[in-house]
């Protein structure tokens, strides 16, 4: 539980998805908890405060969902409240506005945006539904913490309904430059919707600067003052705090389980499957922001520039299925598979395959074993709010001999720059050179770099993130 959040203070968490996975059949639904840093950090706060988590269940609005959520709430000690969505709302709100407009726009991929006005209207309608459920929930003095780009208008609709409880918002993805943000047809409405919150949190100071620049361009009458982690915008008679709060992981959990006998055994099996034992690891959701094609091209360049590494080093690339119904993602999957085939066709030889490609989900122990077994982690998104894979790799690297190659456009770069090799993911020759540098690096330097990163992540874990957000929210 957060040290700065009292047990007598109620809290409501609002996010697009509830922290539960449901399987429904014949009018009966079964629930299972969803793992993840946000759930790990917030569940204790909600349990102690008998709080509420509001979101969509991820399942169609069918009979049996409410009973499954009631039973789950009884086990956890906090309440789950579902916001039911129709198939049309899911299509236009989730697959439409958030995934075809906000996601590419905020990740500087604006040419993939589909500015369909119907998407915008459905986004507003769904935000109003979430706000309505929030207004009906909890007590009059509860703190309402809303998460991510799906729900930027919730505070606005709460205020219109007369609910003036304190609200906070955290954006888990990047905030774009003012020039990129201006491409959004509803830029002013979205900006002012965000400014209805009492506190707005971003991953990095760079994201916060972009937001403040958007204010100066689109709402120059709003003045922002202050210095340090949190600054203040004067919006009418209200003061809105704007801060940078880099999210993290449960370091102790990753470290503890990575050291377990089961993970150690699995990691050894992975080692044994690679005779040369020089594994470069990539783990990403299927998404065009992750830079997977560019990474594959860098591997091709590596094996061309440094032919002595042929037979000595392999990329183990895991792609986790995501948003497969969106045509752009299906096209990306085909592109990745084509590149893998081309590279393996050119450089494979008996006993050696340069790219080991997996398109599937990994169990938690399996993921940690991959982290332990890999000499190098290649984390090269084109743009990322934070990228927790980089931090997970370091926490699970219990031998302390791995090397992290990290995109300078990932939010994690600001924290891990003293240990990681930073690269421009668009520079395939530069990434290839970085892999060669990591391969040639002496063990002593590898350990020094890894120790610096691990200590930073240990001190600034997911619980420190919750504490810092609440400390700011409740400081006058």
Catalytic site positions: 172, 384
Beta bridge partners of 140: none
Task: Work out whether strand 199-202 and strand 167-170 pair parallel, antiparallel, or are unpaired.
Answer: parallel
Q: What tokens were used for 205? A: 């100071």
- Tell me phi and psi for residue 219, to 5 degrees: -145, 65
Task: For Cα atoms 337, 341, 347, give the angle at the middle one, nearest 5 degrees.
Answer: 145
- Tell me phi and psi for residue 277, to 5 degrees: 65, 20
Coil, strand, or helix at residue 260?
coil
- Tell me phi and psi for residue 201, to 5 degrees: -115, 140
Task: Work out whether strand 421-423 and strand 167-170 pair parallel, antiparallel, or are unpaired.
Answer: unpaired
Torsion of Cα atoms, 199 then 203 then 209 then 212, to 10°: -30
Contact 251, 385 (CB under 8 A): no
Farthest CA pair distance, the chain: 72
CA distance 423 to 379: 10
Task: For Cα atoms 86, 170, 191, give the angle at the middle one, nearest 5 degrees.
Answer: 80
Using left for φ > 0, alpha for ψ between -120 and 50, and beta otherwise, residue 277 falls in left
Q: Is 168 exposed, middle or buried (0-12, 13-18, 19+ CB in 10 A)?
A: buried
- Helices 462-473 & 37-48, crossing angle to 10 degrees? 50
Residues in Cβ contact with 218 at an 8 Å cutoff, skipping those fewer than 6 apart: 178, 181, 182, 187, 188, 191
Neighbours of 146 (CB within 10 A): 27
- Tell me phi and psi for residue 158, to 5 degrees: -65, -45
Q: What tokens were used for 279? A: 């594994």
* Upper half-sphere CA count for residue 186 (Cβ side, 13 Å): 19
- Helices 364-373 & 261-273, crossing angle to 10 degrees? 60
């Amino acid at each position: 539980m957060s040290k700065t959040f009292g047990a007598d203070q109620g809290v409501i968490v609002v996010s697009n998805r509830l922290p539960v996975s449901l399987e429904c059949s014949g009018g009966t639904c079964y629930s299972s908890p969803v793992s993840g840093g946000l759930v790990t950090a917030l569940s204790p706060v909600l349990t102690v405060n008998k709080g509420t988590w509001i979101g969509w269940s991820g399942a169609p609005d069918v009979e049996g969902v409410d009973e499954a959520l009631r039973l789950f709430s009884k086990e956890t000690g906090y309440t789950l409240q579902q916001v039911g969505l129709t198939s049309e709302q899911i299509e236009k709100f989730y697959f439409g506005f958030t995934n075809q407009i906000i996601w590419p726009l905020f990740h500087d991929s604006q040419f993939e945006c589909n500015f369909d006005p119907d998407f915008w209207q459905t986004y507003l309608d769904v935000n109003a539904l979430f706000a309505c459920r929030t207004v009906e929930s909890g007590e009059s003095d509860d703190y309402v913490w809303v998460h991510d780009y799906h729900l930027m208008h919730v505070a606005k609709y709460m205020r219109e309904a007369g609910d003036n409880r304190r609200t906070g918002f955290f954006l888990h993805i990047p905030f774009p430059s003012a020039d990129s943000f201006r491409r959004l047809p509803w830029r002013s409405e979205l900006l002012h919707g965000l400014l209805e919150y009492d506190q707005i949190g971003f991953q990095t100071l760079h994201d916060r600067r972009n937001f403040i620049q958007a204010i100066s361009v689109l709402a120059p009458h709003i003045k922002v003052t202050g210095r340090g982690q949190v600054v203040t915008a004067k919006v009418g008679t209200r003061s809105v705090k704007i801060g940078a709060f880099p999210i993290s992981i449960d370091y102790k959990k990753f470290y503890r389980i990575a050291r377990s006998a089961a993970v150690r055994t699995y990691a050894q099996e992975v080692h044994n499957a690679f005779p040369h034992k020089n594994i470069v690891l990539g783990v990403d959701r299927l998404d065009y922001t992750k830079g997977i094609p560019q990474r594959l091209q860098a591997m091709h360049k590596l094996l061309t520039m440094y032919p002595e590494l042929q037979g000595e080093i392999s990329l183990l690339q895991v792609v986790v299925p995501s948003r497969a119904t969106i045509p752009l993602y299906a096209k990306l999957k085909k592109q990745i598979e084509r590149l893998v085939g081309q590279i393996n066709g050119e450089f494979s030889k008996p006993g050696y395959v340069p790219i080991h490609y997996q398109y599937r989900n990994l169990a938690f122990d399996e993921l940690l074993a991959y982290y332990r077994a890999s000499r190098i982690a290649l984390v090269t998104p084109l743009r990322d709010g934070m990228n927790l894979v980089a931090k997970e790799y370091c926490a699970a690297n219990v031998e302390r001999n791995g090397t992290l190659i990290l995109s300078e456009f990932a939010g994690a770069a600001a924290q891990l720059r003293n240990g990681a090799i930073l690269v421009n993911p668009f520079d395939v020759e530069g990434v290839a050179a970085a892999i060669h540098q990591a391969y040639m690096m002496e063990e002593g330097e590898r350990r020094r770099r890894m120790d610096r990163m691990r200590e930073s992540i240990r001190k600034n874990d997911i619980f420190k993130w919750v504490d810092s957000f609440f400390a700011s929210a409740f400081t006058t």
